[in-house]
Amino acid sequence: MSDAHGDRLVSDDRLVADDRLAASAASAGLPGAGPPILVSACLAGLATTHTGVAKPDRKVMELVRQGRAILVCPEQLGGLPTPRLAAEIVDGASGASVLDGEGRVLDTSGGDVTSNYLRGAREALKAARLAGSKVAILKARSPSCGKDRIHDGTFSGVLRDGSGVTAELLRREGLQILTEEELEGRDL
């Protein structure tokens, strides 16, 4: 016979135990107690890059295994296929200027994919808000996910300062952005 609490999916004991675990992790300064971390899907081992491969990162995959990450690929969320042509933010612009309506993202055939990049950034932000994410781990140097350094728009492998469109939008919305290259030595 079920009592007044019979319909609960998780018992009171379990909730108390979870609360204790969260409190102890929080007091130890571990982000594990917090909301899920938004991660670039390619870092989690999904074959989402423009060439159709994954860029798996051990720490990111561990977060996924622990159920502590949500995966997004902004370029796919923006409606682009996989594989797809490489694209870069051109004419000295950056994710910031694309968001401000000044910069453009072009693919190697000259096709303008700016609207796809903007849509993908907004969808990634939606996912982050839904999950309450405060931290995002995003693939370095991508025109969507790159933080602080991106390709310079000449498709020649040269880098310059600036972030990708999604990374910049998430940063503006208050998320802490890390690249996979900044995870070494960090407790996650």
- Of 36, 37, 38, 48, which lies in the binding site for ligand SF4, with binding defined by CB under 6 A? 48
Is there binding between residue 171 and ligand SF4 (CB under 6 A)? no
Q: What are 173's two structure tokens?
A: 């919305």
- Of 36, 38, 40, 175, which lies in the binding site for ligand SF4, with binding defined by CB under 6 A? 40
Is there binding between residue 73 and ligand SF4 (CB under 6 A)? yes
- Of 37, 38, 70, 75, which lies in the binding site for ligand SF4, with binding defined by CB under 6 A? 75
Q: What is the rounded CA–CA span in Å between residue 76 and residue 95?
A: 17
* Residue 62, number of CB atoms within 10 A of its CB: 13
Residue range at the interface with ligand SF4 (CB under 6 A); choices 67-75, 86-94, 108-116, 148-156? 67-75
Q: What are 135's two structure tokens?
A: 């931290």
What are 88's strand-pairing partners? 106
Burial zone of 61 (CB within 10 Å; 0-12 exposed, 13-18 middle, 19+ buried): middle
Which residue ranges make up the site for ligand SF4 (CB under 6 A)? 40-42, 48-49, 73-75, 139, 142, 144-145
